[in-house]
Structure 1
């Protein structure tokens, strides 16, 4: 968000004043300092104080993992060529799907960053089934997400294993389904057009890609983290605890509600575990569904898929992914639980 304000005398432009989001943030902080007494009085309401505590706790716990995730994502986008994976992936699509799923463990990235990476893999000649498997696995089974899940659920280590199995199974099953029934005609031609490599000073260009990718992912994912923390705080304050207790008593309904909530909230995979853990009244299985479905498909991913691969692809890929992720999460929960 950038505004450009020009100060002119006659027809000659004297100087330009750029007001960016950083200046806006500083102005908000200054206003908060001057109005701290009134803000303190406003937050003296018990409900607001509880909501503020939940919001700050989620943001503080999740932010280090979010920053680490976007730094790794930026490094992969800038310094890891798609040709590396083309050399290690088997020729057979079915075998390539399993290797691509495991590659998501070694090459982590957020959901948004995985979409252009999958596109570049296709351009470099990787089978679409393997590229889509990597797209689903990278943001869901990487070490950053698993460690964040372990921190969010310190008393339930089984959640880490269940999330890994459910998410990995989702990626592999979707890859195998595409290898069997997918059609390249569903992907628009522009998605498979050759992408330009950094020109000129390649090293400097890659550092520029790293900085820009990390900055963009941090701003985008940070916004979703704040939104998720606000919604989580609101759920803890505005929604009566009896509702969650009633929902906990209807496991099927709780699973469906959390699956839909994962799609609507569109949280970053590095932060969603802390939001799920804050809903203490719900049992672990609906929370597991929330953690498996969210990184696989949500509203922002649907928009990215439609914009990158075409609407014909998105309207087929999204509902199937939702069903597969839901089923895999339930199976993982039953097996581990």
Structure 2
């Protein structure tokens, strides 16, 4: 017992600590609870949901889920490796030489840099996080994040192949995507607040061995962190694709405004990799050029797996502000550019 004078006695050691019952759960305990919750969901789905699901719908869901994961995973790994390499081996002075000091001027330069990275949106998220960790202005890094998956050479080549004899689709996609990325970067520079964005932390590298260790730690952290969000986004996209009837899509193809909005929303929900989305757009000839351009511009910048990855890297407060901004800009610029093309 305590004698009231601030002295402890032997009996005090037998008392529970002051924060008894209020200690945070350990990672192992959280993992057990998460596994138990997942098992409960699977059992509930097997008992209550599975009997009412047709085998064809389940096959479609499984095919879409696996396709999104398999399609995106190599680019995600590539992006994580590139981000870790930027963090560990590229000194901050390099970015000070490449990018203008003024963030407003750095935004369009970062957008142009997106034309040289052959990757999809899954790769651009960790790379943008690595740029921020090395001191690049968030507005410039976010511009790169939006531009890289839409205007790189592989995507533009795939678009040209999907639309033979229609170079306006390639030009329109490049111009609209770059304009959206730069406008989004400038807008974030003007109205964005530091507390809205969580900049990923990176270990400090000292010496050759330290740089290798920093690379390994960044790779391990990002691949484990982003992989889970990729799975969540893929599951959501597969569910949407299995649920939406095809008749709903074709029924509004002839309505100009509705068709643009519909394909923009489908680009978000379908979550197709930017290297393959041009072939999907080309398979929808019943839609106008403007609507299909909106599909090509919105998809690499706003889709379910990308939203999940952004939330994992930069936080929910960032996503609820940046995603609507990007979507509105992408739809508006696509409509303007599409109108000029036709």
TM-score, normalising length from structure 2? 0.66
Report how far residue 87 of structure 1 moved: 2.6
1:141 corresponds to 2:151: yes
Q: Tell me if structure 2 keeps the 8 A contact 1:79–1:206.
A: yes
Taking the aligned partners of 1:222 and 1:304, their CA distance within structure 2 comes to: 10
Report how far residue 245 of structure 1 moved: 5.8
Structure 2 counterparts to residues 1-337 of structure 1, below 5 A: 73=79, 76-77=82-83, 79-80=85-86, 81=90, 83=92, 84-188=94-198, 191-192=199-200, 194-196=201-203, 200=209, 239=246, 246-337=251-342
Taking the aligned partners of 2:181 and 2:160, their CA distance within structure 1 comes to: 21
Q: 1:310/1:69 Cα in 2 relative to 1: closer, same or farther (>3 Å)?
A: closer
Taking the aligned partners of 2:117 and 2:167, their CA distance within structure 1 comes to: 23
String of CA shifts for 1:189-228, please: whole Å, max 9, x gaps.
Answer: xx35x40267838569869988999999999989999998
Unaligned runs of 5+ in 2: 1-59
Taking the aligned partners of 1:154 and 1:90, their CA distance within structure 2 comes to: 38
Structure 1 equivalent of residue 47 of structure 2:
none
Q: 1:138/1:89 Cα in 2 relative to 1: closer, same or farther (>3 Å)?
A: same
Structure 2 equivalent of residue 42 of structure 1:
none
Q: 1:173/1:161 Cα in 2 relative to 1: closer, same or farther (>3 Å)?
A: same
Q: 1:149/1:222 Cα in 2 relative to 1: closer, same or farther (>3 Å)?
A: farther
Q: 1:70/1:120 Cα in 2 relative to 1: closer, same or farther (>3 Å)?
A: closer
Larger displacement relative to structure 2 (279-288 or 290-299):
279-288
String of CA shifts for 1:3-59, please: whole Å, max 9, x gaps.
Answer: xxxxxxxxxxxxxxxxxxxxxxxxxxxxxxxxxxxxxxxxxxxxxxxx9xxx9xxx8
Structure with a larger share of its residues in strand: 1
Report how far residue 252 of structure 1 moved: 0.9
Unaligned runs of 5+ in 1: 1-50
Give the secondary-structure state (helix, strand or coil) at the position aligned to 1:247. Answer: coil
Q: Tell me if structure 2 keeps the 8 A contact 1:247–1:253.
A: yes
Q: Tell me if structure 2 keeps the 8 A contact 1:101–1:171.
A: yes
Q: Tell me if structure 1 keeps the 8 A contact 2:84–2:218.
A: yes
Considering only CA atoms, is the larger Rg found in Structure 1 or Structure 2?
Answer: 2
Give the secondary-structure state (helix, strand or coil) at the position aligned to 1:196. Answer: coil
TM-score, normalising length from structure 1? 0.67
Q: Tell me if structure 1 keeps the 8 A contact 2:205–2:211.
A: yes
String of CA shifts for 1:151-201, please: whole Å, max 9, x gaps.
Answer: 11113221111111111011000011011111112123xx35x40267838
